[in-house]
Structure 1
């Protein structure tokens, strides 16, 4: 590319409406048709209480129809986007079959009631995603990334198999609904084995620390596949926990451990993001952190909030990945984009605290969560933190003067948290009928310790304290590295991979 100019003419973009092969066109129309059908099912569920089932095999409930709408919408966007992105690729047809197959597998998974069917679909979902990560089969690094992902997903499936086997052994039930009905009898070492295996399977699938390596190694996936992965696949951990909520809520100690695991991943995801130089890796670290928040909400006993978080994060992350090329362009250095301070000092702290308190009050008023002395208080706290962080980031990137930025943060944050609260309330209503949607527990001293450590660490990260330690920087850099076999050591390998 030496000597070339940015204005070189390379030819017009292909007209996908005229040049696309039959398979991408047909599957794109089919997936959008499934989206329309899912909307109809959602309307039928809300208006008429529609709940079709095949006893002992599948059961369609509020969670099912909600996720059908979300999955088919994301799949439709990815199909439409890929019509141009994959145009001319030798892997175009295989890519579309894999994306469509992934959507169908997830739709079946969230409707499955029989434990064997659920386990097989969980395995199939992982194998299809590994196929998408390594879709460029002639690219050595892509094959290595697919292998890393496949091993992780097989481990997750094995853990799920252990959990399902243990639950069948102790309850005699072969369905998820049957296990939920027998939850009162759960306890002892067999239950503990099942519960821990479920949590570990969810952690792997959602790429929580220390199982985030497969996600950071998946950069070889085509961008639309990455969007589907970050907007849909990683959410499977939250879906698993809500499906088996009656199992994990048996013991408060386990729930507290889930909160601690989620908080750790949320903080480390933010730290890892700070040392990554490229857009897609930063987004991957962000996903690890956001999945930590989702798991935290489940550990607090608010499974409806966890589903709300995964849905909203899915929309946000799909947009971020599909627009990642534009993100590079927007953040390129230029004289017009001089360094902008993020604001500091007493005024910044005061504005942040007052804005957060106002947002917390809005959340409590709309949802009623946080008004009692239970884990709802921590839920409100964490929702305020995530939403306020996103609002501050959006305002900071707008390159506004400090005086304007102080007023802009509340203008962005307050409507955002109100929207979050309204969506949460709506989704919780839709999930009514599930065995466990909300299971808050009494606050303990250990909850206070987790919250205090989280707050102190978060503030330290925001103020840049962690940047003063070279040892910490090196540790974060090492922890954020993908698997060695997936690294590109020669810039020409990008081109070689893209032409396979």
Structure 2
């Protein structure tokens, strides 16, 4: 079962990659039917999903070796991969809703793979109820779309968005955003994800790298609807920024490796949704892809970072002012490079300025983290820093531009929104959060530390309090 399933997934990856290459070079698309639609977005998602699934399948052949659950694990993992592929290709509203619901059910079943483990079954139940709620919101939204546009296909419904009254359009958008928030574990629907650490590591890798990203896919596929009202887009910015900022703070106080990665996923999904709210759906898909690859690697390698360390008496000394000036220059230059490569204006005030600001802060944080962990001489750091930052930003911008080109014919929002007071507040909060992280406010203020730790706790019924509770299963 493991061998056949793994080879089949890698075969699907080869086919998906070939089809994506043909689409990118010749622009050929399969005819759009009532049930399926093969377009640029679908082909990109197919290549990403099959690649991550292939890696997880291959890794699990050793990880699951000797387990009595191997056959059930591979059967569900293969079925889940095929369902996600069908979801990405679905053009019928009912088929899309059915795949969305089945995806949640299979994922919850994999979270509770070990039947006799009470904590795993509790985590599966929590996930199953969350996905049931998300599916109900999606079915309600798609039902309203079908009723008012008088069509059952996604492509035709998006072409008839003007048939939706403003009140219905707002209601449908809120329902779609709610379903995306639940699937992507955004606050306050993050509980199912942080409680799912009982899942086998390959399941966690596939879940965090691909399945939670389905919220971004949902918003991108229905961008013609959710982007029609500026108020809805501002709401998406707000919920995305809240998850990105708060979950990033949660990550700083975690001692468990997988739970730390879980908080990181909530933060990254918040940033992905934030990009959708800014009007950059192609950037959200690019972030989805790059984060998926990186998070899959982190989960599959999580066992290698579990080591016993004695606590330090005091934190290591920070570098002097010179390195800080160098990292500041590198961050600003990185933001300018990103803006130039992606066509973002640094003069006109638009939502692109908010995205560029986040890129600058991310480069600044990554550069300072690298300086703290390297033993290079100052001269070597000055040379190495641009050599690391520039290719990373070029890769991100390249993927972004590639996704934008592949999805140019889709009804996705391409014009950035005008800057509002909310955008300015979000930008200021990101700057404040960066300063707080750098100054270590969460370590200096015990009450803040305890509050962040309490807010990020999983459901008590899903926690293993002693290692015997795990080893017994």
**TM-score normalised by the chain length of structure 2:** 0.95
Q: CA deviation at 1:344?
A: 5.7
Residue 478 of structure 1 corresponds to 454
Gaps of 5+ in 2: none
Does the CA contact (< 8 Å) of 2:327 and 2:367 recur in 1? no
How far apart are the structure 2 equivalents of 1:391 and 1:318? 23
Q: Could you tell me which of 314, 322, 337 is aligned with 1:362?
A: 337
Does the CA contact (< 8 Å) of 1:35 and 1:69 recur in 2? yes
Cα deviations across residues 294-316 of structure 1 (Å, max 9, x unaligned)?
A: 11111000000000001000010
Secondary structure of the corresponding residue to residue 110 of structure 1: helix
How far apart are the structure 2 equivalents of 1:80 and 1:313? 20
How far apart are the structure 2 equivalents of 1:434 and 1:373? 26
**TM-score normalised by the chain length of structure 1:** 0.90
Does the CA contact (< 8 Å) of 2:328 and 2:364 recur in 1? no
Q: CA deviation at 1:328?
A: 1.8
Cα deviations across residues 402-421 of structure 1 (Å, max 9, x unaligned)?
A: 78656644432222112211
How far apart are the structure 2 equivalents of 1:462 and 1:397? 15
How far apart are the structure 2 equivalents of 1:443 and 1:297? 14
Aligned pair 1:343/2:337, yes or no? no
Does the CA contact (< 8 Å) of 1:134 and 1:142 recur in 2? yes
How far apart are the structure 2 equivalents of 1:366 and 1:338? 45
How far apart are the structure 2 equivalents of 1:389 and 1:204? 29
Question: What is the Cα-based RMSD across aligned positions, in Å?
Answer: 2.1
CA distance 1:395–1:144, change in 2 (3 Å): farther
Does the CA contact (< 8 Å) of 1:127 and 1:150 recur in 2? yes
How far apart are the structure 1 equivalents of 2:279 and 2:90? 23
Residue 352 of structure 1 corresponds to 327
Q: CA deviation at 1:245?
A: 0.4
Q: Could you tell me which of 289, 302, 323 is aligned with 2:267?
A: 289
Residue 455 of structure 1 corresponds to 431
Residue 359 of structure 2 corresponds to 383
Aligned pair 1:430/2:398, yes or no? no
Secondary structure of the corresponding residue to residue 57 of structure 1: coil
Residue 57 of structure 1 corresponds to 35
How far apart are the structure 2 equivalents of 1:79 and 1:340? 40
Does the CA contact (< 8 Å) of 1:27 and 1:100 recur in 2? yes
Cα deviations across residues 273-319 of structure 1 (Å, max 9, x unaligned)?
A: 11111110100001111111111111000000000001000010011
CA distance 1:233–1:395, change in 2 (3 Å): farther
Aligned pair 1:84/2:59, yes or no? no
CA distance 1:474–1:250, change in 2 (3 Å): same
Q: CA deviation at 1:52?
A: 1.5
Does the CA contact (< 8 Å) of 1:159 and 1:197 recur in 2? yes
**Larger displacement relative to structure 2 (187-196 or 474-483):** 187-196
How far apart are the structure 2 equivalents of 1:395 and 1:348? 8
Residue 190 of structure 1 corresponds to 168
How far apart are the structure 1 equivalents of 2:371 and 2:454? 31
How far apart are the structure 2 equivalents of 1:340 and 1:403? 24
Residue 253 of structure 1 corresponds to 231
**Larger displacement relative to structure 2 (38-47 or 119-128):** 38-47
Q: CA deviation at 1:48?
A: 2.4
Q: CA deviation at 1:213?
A: 0.9
Cα deviations across residues 211-256 of structure 1 (Å, max 9, x unaligned)?
A: 1111111111110110000100110010000001011111112111
CA distance 1:453–1:187, change in 2 (3 Å): farther
Secondary structure of the corresponding residue to residue 58 of structure 1: coil
Residue 441 of structure 1 corresponds to 417
Residue 286 of structure 2 corresponds to 308
How far apart are the structure 1 equivalents of 2:251 and 2:380? 27
CA distance 1:186–1:347, change in 2 (3 Å): farther
Q: Could you tell me which of 195, 199, 203 is aligned with 2:181?
A: 203
Q: CA deviation at 1:334?
A: 6.7
**Larger displacement relative to structure 2 (409-418 or 98-107):** 409-418
Does the CA contact (< 8 Å) of 1:58 and 1:113 recur in 2? yes
CA distance 1:457–1:271, change in 2 (3 Å): same
How far apart are the structure 2 equivalents of 1:462 and 1:206? 27
CA distance 1:207–1:392, change in 2 (3 Å): farther
Residue 106 of structure 1 corresponds to 84
How far apart are the structure 1 equivalents of 2:366 and 2:154? 36
How far apart are the structure 1 equivalents of 2:157 and 2:467? 53
Q: CA deviation at 1:466?
A: 3.2
How far apart are the structure 2 equivalents of 1:430 and 1:368? 17
Does the CA contact (< 8 Å) of 2:318 and 2:372 recur in 1? no
Secondary structure of the corresponding residue to residue 122 of structure 1: helix
